[in-house]
């Protein structure tokens, strides 16, 4: 019996096999969970195709986390596949190119607003859209990148991640009495589709190459995905508002 036996999970952000979300969905199924994926727009076909590469083909619901209409209809869409939810994986982030790549001082508010809405506020929006399906307990896990410092090229996405981390803490505070745990997994730089769109991404990977005590493989999604699944399980019943670093130890090393 796996650690997620009988759990019903929504996993967002599955686009390609080389994503943390895909690995999390795969491991969750291997550990006994029933998984539903979400996607929208042009990516919907990609997600539907990649769903067939999981151990069991997962259904896909349409969800744009910036759409009030989609959020309002999410619970009903999920009920077509599951009779409740035990966990949610938030693997969603986006910033316009003007908000990345060293243009921090020039980025207009409209583009900053898109980054904050999609990458930070969406954690609250997604959680509350799923809340009608939660039972006596549930676990929400978001994918993070350490926002305690300013990283090269990351710019307004770094600000959005700081807001994301704060949002998780406030959700943990307000939803704890309902039995809902909210935690984040802060992974080191990985060669995901999103990462490849960050100008100068190699500057981040170079840091890990020299500072990670345990070493770091930018092509290995498994460690972060395992952490996600562990937090979705019942093995952390009294942990909420936490950020679990899966980064080879870089967050703990000063120089």
Domains of the chain: 8-246 (3.40.50.720)
Lowest mean pLDDT among 176-185, 194-203, 220-229, 241-250: 194-203
- Bind-site residues for substrate: 95
Q: Please state the φ and ψ torsions of residue 137, each to the nearest 5 degrees.
A: -150, 155
Q: What is the mean pLDDT of residues 46-65?
A: 97
Instruction: State yes or no: pLDDT of 192 exceeds 80.
Output: no
- Bind-site residues: 13, 19-20, 64-65, 92, 95, 161
- Bind-site residues for NAD(+): 13, 19-20, 64-65, 92, 161
Q: So what's the pLDDT on residue 193?
A: 65
In angstroms, the Cα distances linking 197 to 22, 92, 96 are 19, 14, 10
144 or 194: which carries more pLDDT confidence?
144
Mean pLDDT, rounded, of the chain: 95
Using alpha carbons only, how large is the chain's radius of gyration in Å?
A: 17
Q: So what's the pLDDT on residue 174?
A: 98
Q: What is the mean pLDDT of residues 91-115?
A: 96
C-beta separation of 75 from 125 below 8 A: no
Instruction: State yes or no: pLDDT of 208 exceeds 90.
Output: no
Q: What is the mean pLDDT of residues 94-108?
A: 95
Q: For residue 243, what are the β-bridge partners?
A: 184
The structure's pTM equals 0.96
What DSSP element (H or E) covers 25?
helix 20-30
- Residue 64's pLDDT band, with cuts at 50, 70 and 90, is very high
193 or 18: which carries more pLDDT confidence?
18
Q: Which residues have C-beta within 8 Å of that of residue 141, sequence separation ≥ 6?
A: 87, 88, 89, 90, 183, 184, 185, 228, 231, 232
Q: So what's the pLDDT on residue 203?
A: 74
Instruction: State yes or no: pLDDT of 140 exceeds 80.
Output: yes
Percent of the chain with pLDDT over 90: 90
């Amino acid at each position: 019996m796996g650690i997620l036996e009988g759990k019903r999970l929504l996993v967002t952000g599955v686009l390609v096999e080389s994503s943390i979300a895909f690995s999390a969905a795969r491991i969750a199924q291997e550990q006994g969970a029933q998984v539903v994926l979400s996607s929208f727009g042009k990516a919907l076909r990609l997600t539907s195709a990649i769903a067939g590469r999981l151990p069991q083909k997962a259904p896909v619901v349409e969800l744009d986390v910036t759409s009030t209409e989609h959020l309002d209809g999410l619970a009903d869409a999920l009920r077509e596949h599951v009779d409740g939810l035990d966990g949610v994986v938030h693997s969603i982030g986006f910033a316009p190119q003007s908000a990345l790549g060293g243009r921090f001082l020039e980025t207009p508010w409209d583009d900053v607003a898109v980054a904050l809405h999609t990458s930070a506020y969406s954690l609250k929006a997604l959680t509350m859209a799923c809340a009608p399906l939660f039972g006596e307990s549930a676990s929400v896990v978001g994918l993070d990148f350490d926002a305690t410092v300013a990283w090269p090229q990351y710019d307004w996405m770094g600000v959005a991640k700081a807001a994301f981390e704060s949002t998780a803490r406030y959700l943990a505070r307000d939803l704890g009495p309902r039995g809902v745990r909210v935690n984040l997994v802060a992974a080191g730089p990985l060669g995901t589709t999103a990462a490849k769109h960050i100008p100068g991404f190699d500057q981040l990977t170079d840091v890990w190459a020299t500072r990670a005590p345990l070493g770091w493989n930018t092509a290995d999604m498994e460690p972060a995905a395992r952490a996600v699944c562990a937090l979705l399980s019942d093995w952390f019943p009294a942990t909420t508002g936490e950020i679990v670093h899966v980064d080879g130890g870089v967050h703990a090393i000063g120089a």
